[in-house]
Amino acid sequence: MANKSIDHAFTATNLTSAASDPTFAGALSFMRRRFTKDLTGVDAVVWGIPFDAATSNRPGTRFGPQAIRRASAIFDNDPQYPFNRDLFAEMAVIDYGDCLLDYGNHHETPEAIERQSKTIVDSGAFMLTLGGDHFVTWPILKAHAAKHGPLALVQFDAHQDTWFDDNRRIDHGSFVARAARDGIIDPDRSIQIGIRTHAPEDFGIHILYGHQLEEMSAGDIASTIISHTRGAPAYLTFDIDCLDPAYAPGTGTPVAGGPSSAKILSVLQRLHQLDIRGADVVEISPPYDHADITAIAGATVAMYMLGLHAERRASASHG
């Protein structure tokens, strides 16, 4: 036990150190990363937004960041599958905690998220956000576009989220329409994967519907995403309801007929060529989850996002 420690989220002496907490104990930051608001020397930031006032059906995603952090404890400190590397050996990652929001003044929420996002994005760190309902992606996209310009949106989702709003609504079903209208995303280089509903507008965004995914291999899906974005700076947003409810029951608007977690994780693994500037995992609603099935899926997707960033950093350093 001499080489062991506990509560690595608080006791870590540097940002690239491995944790040795038991999977069933210790402070539950994301993958045991150190809790800090200090962005000095940080390569990637994990940040929670516990907000669900924009949901149109079942609430509960305000508890999503907690559930994802809890589920992430199952990742021990061996090289992470399928990247076969210690993600944190050369990449300094912190858990920045959660966004501060006033639950009684929702009209202030978009600006609060955008302002706090901007602090992280402007530091130069890669920001991985844990939602929260899908509305939170709107102010996050604004913060990223202010730094990187219009983004190629890569959206894993059962819904297009292109419903009309008046630019004032707090609604998780219209952020893509707003981003397209305002030039935050480039629709011609954006793509939605797993859609199993219809909306009045598509804004020219390419769609891979749920039934199409059934006929495609993971490699074909990934190749379509990479070729469609054409090297543009990309933002990756993952609504957990992209997965079939069998693999993600704990969400607000589940839609049958979706892909398995295995297939979509295989797609994500192949996206290392994407120039991903930021990412999020949203719509995990623990009150409707069972045995942490959805939280584990969400934590795994989030880990893959960090893995892709680690691979891209390693490729750049060797290139």
Domains in the chain, please, with CATH? Answer: 8-318 (3.40.800.10)
Residue 26 has pLDDT above 80, yes or no: yes
Please enumerate, by residue number, every residue annotated as part of a binding site for Mn(2+). Answer: 134, 157, 159, 161, 239, 241
Is pLDDT larger for residue 277 or for residue 16?
A: 277
Q: What is the CA radius of gyration of the chain?
A: 18
**Closest residue by Cα to residue 43 from 316, 234, 290:** 316
- The residue whose two tokens read 């993958």 is 31
**What's residue 319's pLDDT?**
59
| Chain centroid offset of residue 307 CA | 12
The model's confidence at residue 234, banded by pLDDT at 50, 70 and 90, is very high
Q: How many alpha carbons lie under 13 Å from residue 118 in its C-beta half-sphere? A: 12
**What's residue 15's pLDDT?**
87
The model's confidence at residue 25, banded by pLDDT at 50, 70 and 90, is confident
User: pLDDT tens digit string along 46-71?
Assistant: 999 999 976 888 889 999 999 999 99
Residue 39 has pLDDT above 90, yes or no: yes
The model's confidence at residue 166, banded by pLDDT at 50, 70 and 90, is confident
**What's residue 296's pLDDT?**
98
Please enumerate, by residue number, every residue annotated as part of a binding site. Answer: 134, 157, 159, 161, 239, 241
**What's residue 129's pLDDT?**
98
What percent of the chain is modeled with pLDDT above 70?
Answer: 98
**What's residue 170's pLDDT?**
79
Q: How many Cβ atoms are within 10 Å of 35's Cβ, its own excluded? A: 17
Least confident stretch, 18-32, 255-269, 300-314: 18-32
What does the pLDDT average to over 255-263? 98
Residue 42 has pLDDT above 70, yes or no: yes
Q: How many alpha carbons lie under 13 Å from residue 122 in its C-beta half-sphere? A: 9
What does the pLDDT average to over 87-112? 92
**123 close to 47: Cβ distance less than 8 angstroms:** no
| Peptide bond connecting 79 to the previous residue in cis, omega within 30 degrees of 0 | no
Read off the amino acid at residue 165: D
E strand or H helix at 71 = helix 64-72
In the chain, helix, strand, coil percent, each to 5? Answer: 40, 15, 45
Least confident stretch, 54-58, 176-180, 270-274: 54-58
Beta strand extents in the chain (DSSP E only): 34-35, 44-49, 93-98, 126-131, 152-156, 191-195, 206-209, 233-239, 275-282
The model's confidence at residue 23, banded by pLDDT at 50, 70 and 90, is confident
Q: How many Cβ atoms are within 10 Å of 111's Cβ, its own excluded? A: 11
**What's residue 22's pLDDT?**
82
How is the beta sheet containing 44-49 ordered, strand by strand?
34-35, 93-98, 44-49, 126-131, 275-282, 233-239, 152-156, 191-195, 206-209
Least confident stretch, 9-13, 159-163, 271-275: 9-13
**What's residue 3's pLDDT?**
67
